[in-house]
Amino acid sequence: MDARVDSRIPAEIKEQASKELAAHGLSISTYIRMVLTSVAKDGLPKYWGIPNTETMSSINEVADDLNDHHLKGAHSRQELENLLIE
């Protein structure tokens, strides 16, 4: 017995995905069926949800900045603009 899967996504995303999939001979329904079947059989990929190198570098940069007690702060819009220009 088949089950129905519904998902809400922005219309432009659906349109772009539909065009890309169609270029490869796939429909959205076929692609979703393929992905869910793969997850059901094999689970998620080993590194799913682990940030790539670029994302991890950005995360580490933010963490370093948060730990730096010498960061300049602004108390007004003008001060902030001046700091951003420096």
Same domain, 2 and 35: yes
Distance CA 50, CA 79 (A): 37
| Domain range enclosing 31 | 1-47
Distance CA 40, CA 61 (A): 37
Same domain, 35 and 61: no
Same domain, 20 and 3: yes
Lowest mean pLDDT among 16-20, 34-38, 65-69, 76-80: 65-69
Per-residue model confidence as pLDDT tens digits over 6-64: 999 999 999 999 999 999 999 999 999 999 999 999 999 888 888 889 999 999 988 88
Number of domains into which the chain is organized: 2
DSSP, collapsed to helix, strand or coil, labels residue 32 as helix
The last residue of a domain, from among 17, 32, 47: 47
The single residue listed with the structure tokens 């219309």 is 11
Same domain, 5 and 37: yes
Same domain, 5 and 27: yes
